Every structure is written in structure tokens, then in C-alpha cells.
Chains A and B, each alone.
Chain A
Amino acid sequence: MEHKHTITVIVHDKPGVLSRVAGLFSRRGFNIESLAVGTSETPGLSRMTIVAKGDDEALEQIMKQLYKLIDVLRVYDMPTDTAVEREIVLAKVHANANTRAEINQIVEIFRANIVNVGEDSMIIEMTGESSKVEGILKLLEKFGIQELVRTGKIAMLRS
């Protein structure tokens, strides 16, 4: 069965590690949808959050292969129901005097922020789960999205 998986990988913070991990996904036929990397709570270790879609068995094989990389310490498949998931999006939306009010309303409903206003556009910052992010983007589409930046998903198990 094909599923979207969120995989967390704890790695040594060393040059080349990102390329080892990413290379393994492409070599074994997996397309990475998003990848977020940053330092972790332990100095010298980084945490990668990878979203990839694929067959459950193939994914198990990828996780085992990830474990074989000498710089990888831990790998886990985040269960969607018990994890907090977030993504940040910046969208530069076309806006003029006629549309600003409507955009404002959408931003309020979604608890997003307007972080910059220009003469004919505004930048909207949105944090949330993927479904929420997709929701606001869908509504903003009709105004014209000039630029879009997404951090990729990060996730943490609930305590």
C-alpha cells in the first residue's frame, strides 16, 4: 500500500551526511516530498524530517538501509495520529485596494499573519499542519500567488 510517511532521522552533524541520506532515497526509487534539517537537543547531532510517499514494504527497506549508514543513529516512522506536525509557509499574494479586505479576512480565519504589505502585493506567513496550509493556499490562489516558500514538514511525538 502506498502511503505518505514522515520519517525522522537522527544523524551526526558532519559534512556529507545530508547527501548520504538523500542519495539513499533516490537510489532506492523514493521521491522526497520535503526535507527539513536542523540541530537537535544534543550538540553534534542533527534531526532530519523527511516526507516521502511509497509502498510500506519499500519504506521498511529504506529505513533499514538508513540504519546502515554509519552517521545515522536513529530512524523512526512518525505515526500521524500521535505526532504534532507543523510547516511554515510564506506566500507573496497579489493584492490591491479591492482585494486587501478579503485577503485580510482569510488570514484572520486561518490565524495566519501578514508580515509585509507592498503596493500591489502582501506576504502572508502561515504555520500549521499540512491540511491547514493547503486550505489557505487554495483560498489565496484566486488572488494570484507570486511567490511561495515552504519549510517542509517538521514533526514531534506528543508526550
Chain B
Amino acid sequence: MRHEQGAAHAADGYARATGKVGVCMATSGPGATNLVTGIANAHMDSIPMVAITGQVGTALLGKDSFQEADITGITMPITKNNYLIKAAEDIPYIMKEAFYLARTGRPGPIVVDVPKDLQFKKINFKYPDSISLASFKPNFKGHPKQITAAAKLIAASERPLIYAGGGVISSEASKELLQFAEKCNIPVTTTLMGKGAFPETHELAMHMLGMHGTAYANFAVQECDLLIAIGARFDDRVTGHLARFAPHAKIIHIDIDPAEIGKNVGVDVPIVGDVKSVLTALIEKVGPKEKHPAWVAKLEEWKAKYPLGYKDTGELKPQYVIEQIYRITKGGAIICTEVGQHQMWSAQFYKYDKPRHWISSGGLGTMGFGLPAAIGAQMGRPDAVVFDIAGDGSIQMNIQELTTAVNNKLPIKIAVLNNCYLGMVRQWQELLHGKRYSHTDLCNNPDFVKIAEAYGAVGIRATTKEEAIKAIEESLKIKDRPVLMDFRVAKEENVFPFVPAGQAINEMIID
């Protein structure tokens, strides 16, 4: 990698694409501090990662030595745990513990800081067979009493809705979620992190909820009488105005992290446990009985009445580009994104039927995440078609990693939806600040095609619908290097639906 931030995001992308622990390494001081954004990103999205940093020698610690930074102090609030190793003999078990903690229970990033003198020491290598920590015992199996209580609520409900998050993916519980939803005929809406946890082409799929969710998902949340939250954390981008969120619903909350229960909303039946294990037990206890046909019909009606869409004005629309990527890749690509409008359109207009095909920075909203994440994803899944759908603002935040992709012959497809704006911020300035645009105009963007070529990648420009289709088809033929497509899209297109921050989620601007 060319920048430590890129390394952290690549480890993160690798972890999301494969389900394994991602690893990145950096030197001390500025190397370590450059990892910080990537570590915070993994922490917010519960991604298993181990970041190994160099540190000045033990004799120089605490003396403001050259390239010394207190990285364990700095990363304390953004890691699951971290270690400053003080003796070489501790390295084997701390490494084992780090990987164990990163992937066990609710996943997260771990930092291991290794002073230079310890890296040079010879020791008798003793590796523990297993790790057992008295102070870390996550509860995997849901309490049977709670599961019975949940089953009762489900049986009594007339308008149930499943709200599934990233926890379903980290728990590898997509199969169980599908079985559960089908057995009880309960519609499923997913968070941004939960995309792919439930097949989006399924008839029960209500797609994403929240700030840029579908109108029908948000209406469903506001009308349901039972909300079953599975591996999700009631984030403010999901709930909007908290007191007015799901006002008629009893809530069942399944999560492995007890601290998430009751953090943002009161819960009627909490179940602390691993999603896969809890769903397996719950499936045994429920239906098939009432199929609440009136409710499902109502949702079908909303789906038909408020579909996702955009106005075809003849210009090249960003949504059109994503629809074409979906059509041409037959929905099978791994889609990484940066952060902004292009991210929301990628969430809306590409349909994800399988987990680990949607790789996007959710909680932290890190611009510059997509390209390095795509590198990590492609390294982990060499046979997959990997896209980074980017904006012209975001792509410039880690564009140096094009070199890494070229050097490693990674055939990543970078689709820049270039509207010459920091589009999401521009949209807020248009709709909420009376079009007083401030620092969002990127009219002095560089020539992205030339940049791609300078790095040794392929650059293609597309300004019309025909050129866009040709560019995507062309990019799929290239197998030995990255391709950057510069799609010149309509400049002032907005992401809809849009729930302005602080409003209830059914108070959307739909178009």
C-alpha cells in the first residue's frame, strides 16, 4: 500500500469480503497514526481486524523519542482492546489473544504495538493452544425464556417486520434469516450494513430503511405492530426522530452485545446471543400459522406506489450507471463504495442477494474507504468481479492506491460517478441551506482518465448512456489491471427518498 490509511481499509475490505480477520501493519509514530481512521472505521462497523504497529525501543518509550506516538492511548476508544508489548516472551500469546478477540463475540479491531528492540529478540517460541479470558465470555446462546417470549409476540402480531443489520452478516446467519422470514411470512428491511443479509430480489424484501431508505420500508416501520431487530443497533441514520420511531411497535432485539440492548430505544423482549444460534432456536418455536395477508398486501401496495426511481431526462444519470452495472454483472459483483451520494445510489439501485457482496463504510462514513477496501476484497476473493463505485470527491482521498492495484495486477473496476461536486453535502446545502453552496464545487477536478493512465491503469470516459454501457462491458474484459471509468453524470441530481436529520422517518422528501 502507498498510505497506511489505505492499508487499514484494505484489511477491513478483506475482512468484509471473506469473513476472516483482516491484518495491517505500520511503522511507529506517523505510520501508526495514519492507521487511526481505518481502525475507527472498523470499530464503528464491527469488523474483525488486527493492526500491528511498530514502536520505539522500550528504553526510549515515554521520552518523546523520534517517531514515537502513544498509539495504544490514541486508539483506546476505537478498539475492542489494544496492547503495548513489554517483553518479547509475551508476543506469541498476545498475538493469539488479539486474533481471538477480534473475531469472537461482536467483532472489532485490535491494535498490537511492538517496540523495536523486542522485534529483534530471540525467544523460545511457546504458542498457547487456546485462549480463555475470565473477563471475556460473550453469551452465544439466547435465553430460552426470552426466545419463548419472542415467539409469543410473533404469534400475536398482525403487522410484524424484521429489521436486519450487519450482525446477521458477521454471524453468517443469512440462511437462518431467510428460513425464519419465510416460515412466518414476515417482510424484511435491512440497514446499510445489513445489505445482502436477505436476498433483495425476494418478494418479502423491503430493502433499506432510514434516511435514504425506500419509502415503503420507512412506512412499514412506522405502521408495524412488532419490530424484530436482528444484529442492528438503532443508529440515528436508521431511526430519524427517535421518539417517533416505530410508534405502534413492540420490539424484539436480538444482539450479541448486551450494551446495544436499550441503548437507543426501549425493548420489550431483549435476546442477548449470537444471531445464528438465536434464530435457529426461534425458528423451532414459531409458526407456520397466521400469515397476516392484509399486512403483506398493504406493503405490496406501498412497494408498487412508491418505487425507487429517478427522472430520465436524456442526460447520463448516476442511477442509470448503477442499474447498468447491476444488469451487466448480473448482480454477482462485489460492490465497494466510498461515501456520499454514489454510495446511497449503489445501495438503492444494485440489488444484493448474497452477503459479503456489499462493502461500504457505514458508521464512520469514511470517504476514501472504497478503493483500498476493493483492493483488500479482490485479494481475498481473487475470482470475484470487484467494483469500487466512487464519487469524484471520495476517489481523490486515497487515489494513490491505484499503484498498489496496478502492482498487484488487480482487475478492480473503479466507477467514478463524476458530478464535479461533493454531491451529498451539495444536496444538503441545496435542500436545507437555500442553495448557498459552500466548498462543495469541485470544478477543478483533475482528468481522471489521464490519472488512471499515469498510474498504469486503464482509463475510460463516458458521457452518454451508450458510452456508459460500452465502458462497463469493456472494463469486464480487462483481467490484469485496474480500470477507472469516469462517468460524467448529471451534476445536480439528488438522492431520494431523503429524511432530513431529526425528522421522523415517514416524513420523507420522496422526489
Which residues of A come within 8 Å of B, CB atoms?
Answer: 12, 15-16, 19-20, 23-24, 27, 57, 60-61, 64-65, 67-73
A23-B76, A72-B135, A73-B135 are known contacts. Are A67 and B259 too (CB-CB below 8 A)? Answer: yes
A23-B76, A27-B77 are known contacts. Are A71 and B262 too (CB-CB below 8 A)? Answer: no
Q: Is the CB of A68 within 8 A of B257?
A: yes
Q: Is the CB of A16 within 8 A of B259?
A: no
In the complex, which residues of chain B have a beta carbon less than 8 angstroms from the beta carbon of A65? 259
Candidate in B134, B136, B258 with the most chain A CB atoms within 10 angstroms: B136
Q: Is the CB of B77 within 8 A of A67?
A: no
Q: Is the CB of A73 within 8 A of B134?
A: yes
Query: In whole angstroms, what is the CA distance A71 to B259 when docked?
Result: 17
Residue of A nearest to B80 (CB): A70
Return 29 A-B CB contacts under 8 Å, by A number.
A12-B135, A16-B76, A16-B84, A23-B76, A23-B77, A24-B77, A27-B77, A57-B262, A60-B262, A61-B259, A61-B262, A61-B263, A64-B258, A65-B259, A67-B258, A67-B259, A68-B80, A68-B257, A69-B81, A69-B135, A70-B80, A70-B81, A70-B101, A70-B133, A70-B135, A70-B136, A71-B81, A73-B134, A73-B135
In the complex, which residues of chain A have a beta carbon less than 8 angstroms from the beta carbon of B76? 16, 19-20, 23
Number of B residues, CB within 8 Å of A: 17
* Min distance, Cβ A142 to any Cβ of chain B, angstroms: 45
CB < 8 Å A-B pair total: 39
In the complex, which residues of chain B have a beta carbon less than 8 angstroms from the beta carbon of A27? 77
In the complex, which residues of chain A have a beta carbon less than 8 angstroms from the beta carbon of B81? 69-71
Query: In whole angstroms, what is the CA distance A114 to B72 when docked?
Result: 45
* Min distance, Cβ A57 to any Cβ of chain B, angstroms: 7
- In order of increasing CB-CB distance, the 3 nearest A-B pairs are A64-B259, A70-B81, A73-B135
In the complex, which residues of chain B have a beta carbon less than 8 angstroms from the beta carbon of A70? 80-81, 101, 133, 135-136
Residue of A nearest to B260 (CB): A64
| B73 contacts the other chain (CB 8 A) | yes
Query: In whole angstroms, what is the CA distance A70 to B101 when docked?
Result: 9
Interface residues of B in 131-149 (CB under 8 A from A): 133-136
Query: In whole angstroms, what is the CA distance A61 to B135 when docked?
Result: 18
In the complex, which residues of chain A have a beta carbon less than 8 angstroms from the beta carbon of B258? 64, 67
* Min distance, Cβ B94 to any Cβ of chain A, angstroms: 12
In the complex, which residues of chain A have a beta carbon less than 8 angstroms from the beta carbon of B134? 73
Query: In whole angstroms, what is the CA distance A60 to B258 when docked?
Result: 11
* Min distance, Cβ A60 to any Cβ of chain B, angstroms: 7
In the complex, which residues of chain A have a beta carbon less than 8 angstroms from the beta carbon of B133? 70
